Amino acid sequence: MKPWKSVLAATALAFASCTAAYAARTDIVLGVPLEPPHLDPTAGAAAAIDEVLYANVFEGLTRIGSRGEVMPGLAESWTVSEDGKTYTFKLHTGVKFHDGTDFDAEDVKFSLDRARAEESTNAQKGLFAAIDTVKVVDPATVTVTLKNPQGSFLYNLGWGDAVIVAPESAETNKEKPIGTGPFKFDNWAKGSSITLVKSADYWGEPAMLDKAEFRIIPDAAAAVPALLSGDVQVLPNFQLGDALPQVESDPRFKVVIGATEGETVLSTNNKKPPFDQLKVRQAIAHALDRKAIIDGASGGLGVPIGSHFSPANAAYIDLTGTYPFDPAKSRELLKEAGFENGIKATLKLPPVGYARDGGQIIASQLRDVGIDLEIIPVEWADWLAQVFKEKDYDLSIVSHTEPNDIDIYSRKDYYFNYDNPAFDKVIEELNLTSDDARRTELYHQAQKILADDAVNGFLFELPKIGIWDAKVEGMWENSPIQANDLTKVRWVD
Amino acid sequence: MTAYLAKRLLIGLATLVVASVVVFAVLEILPGDPARLMLGMNATEDAVLALRNELGLNQGIVMRYLTWTGGLLSLDFGRSYTYSVPVIELIRERSAVSLPLALIALALSTAIAIPVGVFSAARRGRPADTVAMGASQLGVAVPNFWFALLLVYVFAVWLRLVPAGGFPGWGAGLWPALKALILPAVALALPQAAILARVTRSALLDVLGEDFIRTARAKGLPRRTVLWRHALRNAMLPVVTIMGLQFAFLLAGTIIIENVFYLPGLGRLVFQAINQRDLIVVEGVVMLLVATVIVVNLLVDLSYAIVDPRLRHRT
């Protein structure tokens, strides 16, 4: 090769590599702690499923935005009848599933009927309980008739469990998900990673990334070096640990503390003596020092709550002052209730950091007022079987991560064993109301009743700790639902 | 020799049957309903029931045991509850990581341990021996997850020679796949090598004290020949036994290392399956590991015969 030729070649090469280096990146790797068991959001409760697929691959009639608001999804618009029982959805046209089949009203009917069918294994079947019939008017119009008005119906349709699937692919979605979203499923290397790529013929605003990989990194101690070495650029749900300060001080990364929908509570068996007495529950509430609990169980992150409602929600009211931290008052209440000699009880703790660490602190705070707790650590499966299903417990600690789930307190067989007709009436009216102002008012009432009744020890809202490369934009700060919506994520220089 | 082999095989088979009963029974006793766990706290009772039917959990225990063992005979391990794919497929995918990892680690640990062991034995009591055995003491004492993290920080974060973890799959090419296995293999191999080196040294020292070694030396054979040909060969029995045990350990005991390097191997699979109450996967993997241990032990028994000719003629 002549010298001038090699110089030219070298220049061309240098130029090519420069442009490659300076064009904004379009690929991203996210490190997630849990692998989804399968990839069908309509057939499992695991948050990990929605955290990969929601809004990215699958879409519903409505969708939940980054602040928990209901936005149009596959339904362009809707009207609600006077009596609040009939919803007419106008659908987007020209929408295709990733396998090339058309999306239309028949798919909506199929999906909603499938989710509420008798043999359905949808984990949130209750969301669809109010539906009476789903009728196809024309390919772009669907009418859903409810048995009774349901104020939260549009919100419910935005859950991952309510996404629209096609009859052709519904049975194989667990392995090969086919949706209508801006990303389509590319590959799942089991135990290792899930890759999504941009869908070329998306009906809406196209994604800004070409490729997104969810890499499964179960251990927080392993996630940090993965981030530092550049293998991974986003850790959307970082598990709290000693590693946080190591990243916080590094200017290459952004650490974003947001809110979740996880109300962390000291679950109380309201039918089991002595916890069936209001005074005993009030005594517990007065004995809890939320600040110390948050410091110890959540690294000082997380907002204290006084009822079962997320501070990120517009209808939230701060009720942490209902029963302020006051051990003297607590002891007095126990005495009035006839327990001057103290109480012995058990505290069953699931295998999560906030519960195991928080449990130690709460046990010592309650011991201080004369409630002696025996700590029993249990596994998740045991927790679900013993505490949640059999209601064989006194106290437990768990975070209720489902969004807008204050209505669980009106369920008769729920593990809190709480029963208050006045509260049920509020929830009933809430179900029948779609006027926002009235709904807010009712939410206030509901929160207040739970706080006054000291149903559970209300502790704090679980934080969402997101860490990502400082050049990444568009990740959600909060998680109003369990999702990693990548539709607006991009690299900036 | 044939009778010896037949007896070993029979014992192996009996162990498998007993193991299958124990594994099945233990997992049955384990509390927690897989269907409820999969559907979560908000699921309605009839959705859980529907899933239990789908998974075949509503059949009787004896019926399920027979279905399961019947399947095992034809290498049908059933379908995973959570992944809803055949268990054998999962095992095959995961073995493609765990098996090479275990083999590399074993090769590495042997390649380090035997020379170090021989070297130490030959220089017993001298400074070189003290240093080598001190280092091996350290290797035994250091927890391997800590050592693994140390390796990650040095070679992945600081020097950026290898990825911090993960596995690209063999489809990505031989070199990228091997590169992902280097650190985990080293992290696994060094503590094993430390143990093996100590065993080699002490076995060799025992042999070096024997009369035939003195005879060999008296014959005027070079020290080196005595050491490597006569002494080492006779010291191999305990070394091979430990290697056999280590291989089984490497294959099954990689849970921690696979977590630190987030490798999709068998250890991770079984760990995750226990947490998710994916009993059928746990049963399948455990049976496979039992079978592997039995086969490896059989091979170790056979290798005794190769190492020690006297065993060949015993019936």
Min distance B63 CA to chain A CA atoms (Å): 24
Tell me, yes or no, whether B23 and B113 share the same domain: no
Give bridge partners of residue A399 from the DSSP assignment.
A264
Whether B9 maps to a domain, the answer reads: yes
Nearest CB among A44, A215, A405 relative to B39 is that of A44
Q: Tell me which residues of chain A, numbers 184 to 223, contact chain B at a CB-CB cutoff of 8 Å.
A: 189-193, 215-219, 221-222
Interface check for B257 against chain A (CB to CB < 8 A): the answer is no
CB A222 within 8 A of CB B153: no
Q: Please tell me the predicted confidence (pLDDT) of residue A435.
A: 81
Q: Among all residues of chain B, which has the CA nearest to that of A117?
A: B47
Burial (CB count within 10 angstroms: exposed 0-12, middle 13-18, buried 19+), residue A489: buried
Do strands A395-400 and A253-268 pair parallel, antiparallel, or not at all (unpaired)? antiparallel
**Which chain B residues touch A381 with a CB distance below 8 Å?**
30-34, 37, 275, 277
Q: Tell me which residues of chain A, numbers 389 to 418, contact chain B at a CB-CB cutoff of 8 Å.
A: 389, 400, 402, 405
Nearest CB among B32, B39, B40 relative to A382 is that of B32
Among B18, B35, B7, CA closest to B279: B35
Angle at A265 between CA A261 and CA A269, to 5 degrees: 130
Interface check for B262 against chain A (CB to CB < 8 A): the answer is yes
- What would you report as the CA-atom Rg of chain B, rounded to the nearest whole angstrom? 24
Tell me, yes or no, whether B162 and B235 share the same domain: yes
Nearest CB among A125, A190, A228 relative to B90 is that of A190
What does B75-142 look like in DSSP terms, one character per residue? T---B-TTT-SBHHHHHHHHHHHHHHHHHHHHHHHHHHHHHHHHHHHHTTTSHHHHHHHHHHHHHHHS
- Domain containing residue B259: 94-313
Give how many domains chain B has, as a whole number: 2
Q: Among all chains, which residue has been given the structure tokens 């399947």? A: B71
pLDDT tens-digit profile of A213-245?
A: 999 998 888 899 999 999 999 999 987 766 788
Mean pLDDT of B22-42: 78
Min distance A384 CA to chain B CA atoms (Å): 7
Which own/partner pairs from B70-79 qualify as long-range (CB within 8 Å, at least 24 positions apart)? B72/B20, B72/B287, B77/B280, B77/B283, B77/B284, B77/B287, B78/B280, B78/B283, B78/B284, B79/B280
pLDDT tens-digit profile of B82-115?
A: 777 889 999 998 999 999 999 999 999 999 999 9
Interface check for B225 against chain A (CB to CB < 8 A): the answer is no
Tell me, yes or no, whether B109 and B173 share the same domain: yes
Please tell me which residue, A273 or B302, carries the higher pLDDT value: A273
Tell me, yes or no, whether B128 and B21 share the same domain: no
**Which chain A residues touch B166 with a CB distance below 8 Å?**
192-193, 215, 217, 226, 231
Q: Which residues of chain A have pLDDT under 50?
A: 1-2, 13-21
- What would you report as the CA-atom Rg of chain A, rounded to the nearest whole angstrom? 25
Q: Please tell me the predicted confidence (pLDDT) of residue A185.
A: 97
- Residue B204 and residue B207: Cα distance in Å, rounded? 5
pLDDT tens-digit profile of B244-276?
A: 888 877 876 677 888 889 999 988 888 888 877
**Which chain A residues touch B43 with a CB distance below 8 Å?**
45, 123-125
CB within 8 Å: B166 and A193: yes
DSSP state at residue A240: P
Tokens of residue A424, six digits: 């049920």
Mean pLDDT of B145-171: 89
Instruction: Assign residue B223 the CATH number of its domain.
Output: 1.10.3720.10
Whether B207 maps to a domain, the answer reads: yes
Which own/partner pairs from B226-230 qualify as long-range (CB within 8 Å, at least 24 positions apart)? B227/B118, B227/B121, B227/B122, B228/B118
Q: Is A79 helix (H, G, I), strand (E, B) or coil?
A: strand
Kindly list the structural domains of chain A, giving each domain's residue range(s) and its CATH number in brackets, ordered by start: 27-33+181-259+464-491 (3.40.190.10), 58-172 (3.90.76.10), 263-461 (3.10.105.10)
* Residue ranges with strand state E in A6-99: 27-32, 62-64, 70-72, 75-80, 86-91
Q: Tell me which residues of chain B, numbers 263 to 292, contact chain A at a CB-CB cutoff of 8 Å.
A: 263-265, 268-269, 272, 275-277
Tell me, yes or no, whether B48 and B99 share the same domain: no
Among A491, A472, A481, A443, CA closest to A73: A481
Tell me, yes or no, whether B262 and B203 share the same domain: yes
Tell me, yes or no, whether B191 and B132 share the same domain: yes
Q: Among all chains, which residue has been given the structure tokens 């209902």? A: A322
CB within 8 Å: B32 and A379: yes
Whether B85 maps to a domain, the answer reads: no
Q: Report residue A263: phi and psi, to 5°.
A: -80, 115
What does A294-349 look like in DSSP terms, one character per residue? HHHHHTT-SEE-SSSS-TTSTT----TTSS-S-HHHHHHHHHHTT-TT-EEEEEEE
Q: Of B73, B107, B123, which one is at a domain's C-terminal end?
A: B73
Q: Which residues contact B150 (CB under 8 A, 6 or more apart)?
A: none
Among A41, A175, A179, A201, CA closest to A97: A179
Tell me, yes or no, whether B198 and B254 share the same domain: yes
- Residue A345 and residue A315: Cα distance in Å, rounded? 35
Q: Please tell me the predicted confidence (pLDDT) of residue B145.
A: 84
| Residues comprising chain A, all counted | 493
Q: Give the alpha-carbon dihedral of A172, A173, A175, A180, to 10 degrees.
A: 130
Nearest CB among B36, B42, B265 relative to A402 is that of B42
Report the Cα–Cα distance between both ends of chain B, in Å, rounded: 5
Tell me, yes or no, whether B122 and B184 share the same domain: yes
Tell me, yes or no, whether B244 and B308 share the same domain: yes
Tell me, yes or no, whether B39 and B135 share the same domain: no
Whether B280 maps to a domain, the answer reads: yes
Q: Among all residues of chain B, which has the CA nearest to that of A402?
A: B42
Q: Is A387 helix (H, G, I), strand (E, B) or coil?
A: helix
CB A199 within 8 A of CB A181: yes
Establish how many alpha carbons lie within 13 A of residue B175's alpha carbon, considering only the half-sphere containing its beta carbon. Answer: 2
Q: Please tell me the predicted confidence (pLDDT) of residue A18.
A: 44
pTM for this predicted structure: 0.83
Give bridge partners of residue A184 from the DSSP assignment.
A197
Tell me, yes or no, whether B67 and B104 share the same domain: no
Give bridge partners of residue A491 from the DSSP assignment.
A472
Angle at A234 between CA A399 and CA B178, to 5 degrees: 115
pLDDT tens-digit profile of B171-216?
A: 888 999 999 999 999 999 998 999 999 999 999 999 888 888 888 8
pLDDT of B315 strictly over 50: no
Q: What is the 3-state composition of chain B as percent helix, strand, coil, each rounded to the nearest 5?
A: 80, 0, 20
Q: Among all residues of chain B, which has the CA nearest to that of A40?
A: B83
Q: Please tell me the predicted confidence (pLDDT) of residue A277.
A: 95
> What ipTM, to 2 d.p.?
0.78
Q: Is B192 helix (H, G, I), strand (E, B) or coil?
A: helix
pLDDT tens-digit profile of A276-309?
A: 999 999 999 999 999 999 999 998 899 999 999 9
Q: Please tell me the predicted confidence (pLDDT) of residue A444.
A: 97
**Cβ pairs A/B, distance under 8 A:** 152
CB A230 within 8 A of CB A201: no
Q: Please tell me the predicted confidence (pLDDT) of residue A15.
A: 47
Interface test with B, best of A194, A214, A219 (most B CBs within 10 A): A219
CB within 8 Å: B46 and A125: yes
Q: How far is CA A357 from the centre of its chain?
A: 22
